[in-house]
Amino acid sequence: MDTGDIFQKLKNGETILSNDSQVHRMREAAFATKKLLLQMNDTTDPNEMRILLSEITGAEIDESVTIFTPLHINYGKHTKIGKNVFINFDCVFLDMGGITIEDGVLIAPKVSLLSEGHGILPEERQSLIPKPIHIKKNVWIGAGAIILQGVTIGENAVVAAGSVVSKDVPDNAVVGGIPAKLLKQFNQRIK
* CATH number of domain containing 156: 2.160.10.10
* Tally of domains in the chain: 1
Backbone angles phi, psi at 146, to 5 degrees: -120, 125
Per-residue pLDDT at 187 = 82
**Which pLDDT band holds residue 164 (cuts at 50, 70, 90)?**
very high
129 forms beta bridges with 117
- CA atoms of 18 and 30, how far apart (whole Å): 16
Per-residue pLDDT at 188 = 67
In this model, does residue 96 exceed pLDDT 50?
A: yes
User: Within a domain: residue 46?
Assistant: yes
User: Within a domain: residue 109?
Assistant: yes
User: Within a domain: residue 137?
Assistant: yes
User: Within a domain: residue 65?
Assistant: yes
Per-residue pLDDT at 172 = 97
Please list the active-site residues: 118
CA–chain centroid gap for 95, Å, is: 5
User: Within a domain: residue 180?
Assistant: yes
In this model, does residue 89 exceed pLDDT 50?
A: yes
User: Within a domain: residue 1?
Assistant: no
User: Within a domain: residue 190?
Assistant: no
Q: Could you give the percent of the chain with pLDDT greater than 90? A: 92
Per-residue pLDDT at 189 = 59
Q: Give 44's Cβ-side CA count (13 Å radius).
A: 0
User: Within a domain: residue 191?
Assistant: no
Range of the domain at 141: 6-185
In this model, does residue 82 exceed pLDDT 60?
A: yes
Cβ atoms 183, 175 nearer than 8 A: yes
Q: Determine if the pTM surpasses 0.85.
A: yes
